[in-house]
Amino acid sequence: MQKGNVMAESRPRGRPKSFHDKTAENTIQSLDRALMILTAVSEAGGLTLSELAARTGQSAPTVYRVMTTFQTHSFAEMEEPGQLWHVGGGAFRVGSAFLRRTKVVERSRQVMDRLMRATGETANLGVEMRDQVLFLSQVETHETIRAFFPPGTLGPMHVSGIGKALLAWYPEDRITAIAAKGLPCFTACSLGEVGALRTDLVATRARGYALDDEERAEGMRCVAAPVFNAHGEPVAGISVSGPAFRLTQDRTAEIGALVRKAADEVTEATGGRVP
């Protein structure tokens, strides 16, 4: 028995005594301000320095110093035409630590591996980000010639299998807003007119899967289907992509059924429902 020694209440390692105190005295105000500014950038589709200053209530010089610091670490990037600030790839790489904890990424991995083995082509997982497709994960085929979308890759929705799989279940006003930003053509097969895109989306919804028929890159095809949340809303897409000489037109229906089944498996595993 120890005399004259009162044992202190134990606390989890790595937590200071002030762990539960979230008052201003225990926050770093400059860091708090910087993260507020970065959050504002992430919620917009590109902001000028003056717009960002007005939105956050900070002075333009303060915002500039914060954004150039983030730019140094690739957490932010500036688009030269119009000098618009956007979230950078560095923020995604840090955010990937969170993605590893989310159900859709975790639950889709084995499904994508089975899909790759069943089709012989690369399987992909993507979501929508700022009206573009953001690729989160990929299971590559062992073929020498194959599709490759490293995590963090962004692409236009209207020329992407995953993009069109999501668009087909979006409300009409959302499709109109995205199309209003422009539908650039990348190949002779790209759907550059909103009428042609809407016709394709109707067909996509009817058959249950989307087809990128050499619309983003000549010689490459992609078949995709959406993953739904508990409200029946499309929140992600799974696809199979590969060279057109292997992923031929007469295989798209067969592969489409496999992709649709894989997407439904992820929907069920994450507590979603197919509308």
Mean pLDDT estimate for the chain: 87
- Residue 274, domain member (yes or no): no
pLDDT in tens, 139-172: 998 888 777 777 778 899 999 999 999 999 999 9
* Residue 2 binned pLDDT confidence (cut-offs 50, 70, 90): very low
Any domain includes 5: no
At 16, the pLDDT band (50, 70, 90 cuts) reads: very low
Q: Are residues 134 and 70 in the same domain?
A: no
Split at pLDDT 50, 70, 90, the class of 14 is very low
CATH number of the domain where residue 32 is located? 1.10.10.10
Residues 83 and 109 in one domain: no
What pLDDT score was predicted for residue 150?
72
pLDDT tens column, 168-214: 999 999 999 999 999 999 999 999 999 999 999 999 999 999 999 99
pLDDT digits (tens, 9 = 90+) for 65-98: 999 999 999 999 998 888 899 999 888 778 766 5
Separation CA 192–CA 149 (nearest Å)? 23
Task: Please state the separation of Cα 210 from the chain's center in Å.
Answer: 18
Q: Which residues contact 43 (CB under 8 A, 6 or more apart)?
A: none
Domain interval for residue 46: 24-87
Query: How far apart are the C-alpha atoms of 200 and 159, rounded to whole Å?
Result: 11
Q: Is residue 93 part of a domain?
A: no
Instruction: Confirm if 146 and 247 have CB atoms less than 8 A apart.
Output: no
Do 71 and 120 share a structural domain? no
Is 10 inside any structural domain? Answer: no
**184 and 137 together in one domain:** yes
> Closest by alpha carbon to 120, among 227, 255, 264?
255
Q: State the total domains in the chain.
A: 2
- Mean pLDDT for the stretch of residues 91-110: 76
Model confidence band, residue 255 (pLDDT cutoffs 50, 70, 90)? very high
